[in-house]
Amino acid sequence: MFLRPQLPDSHTPNLPTTAQHAHVPACGCQHSAPVATPPPRSLPSVGSGAVAAVVVGGVVLVALLAAVVVTAVSVAVAAVVLRSLLGAQHRRR
């Protein structure tokens, strides 16, 4: 239910193999070692429980907003009806 980031498994460092250290060029010139690129990072995965929690939370918030809107409209309609009834009563006198 909680978001837990998952880190890639990199407990073992990237060490060059012994073949790279023991390589001696036959030409006698200075060769540079190949540049080791770091492994690609994976994106943190989000569980289906977290997605479900966000969806349920969104549904609840939309339902609350709809309830507030319906209440506001009904109060406005009641105010207009009461004003109309009271205005008609004052006109009769």
**Per-residue pLDDT, 61:** 98
* Residue 33 lies inside a defined structural domain of this protein: no
Residues 6+ apart with CB under 8 A from 1: 49, 50, 53
Separation CA 54–CA 87 (nearest Å): 49
Separation CA 43–CA 25 (nearest Å): 40
Domain that holds residue 92: 66-93
Structural domains of the chain, count: 1
* Residue 42 lies inside a defined structural domain of this protein: no
Q: CA torsion sign, 63 to 67 to 72 to 77?
A: positive
* Residue 70 lies inside a defined structural domain of this protein: yes
* Residue 19 lies inside a defined structural domain of this protein: no
pTM: 0.46
* Residue 86 lies inside a defined structural domain of this protein: yes
Least Cα distance to 39 among 7, 68, 82 occurs for 7
* Residue 10 lies inside a defined structural domain of this protein: no
Which two structure tokens, joined as six digits, stand for 56? Answer: 């349920």
* Residue 30 lies inside a defined structural domain of this protein: no
- Taking only the tens place, the pLDDT of each residue in 4-42 is 767 666 655 555 554 455 555 567 677 677 778 888 887
* Residue 85 lies inside a defined structural domain of this protein: yes
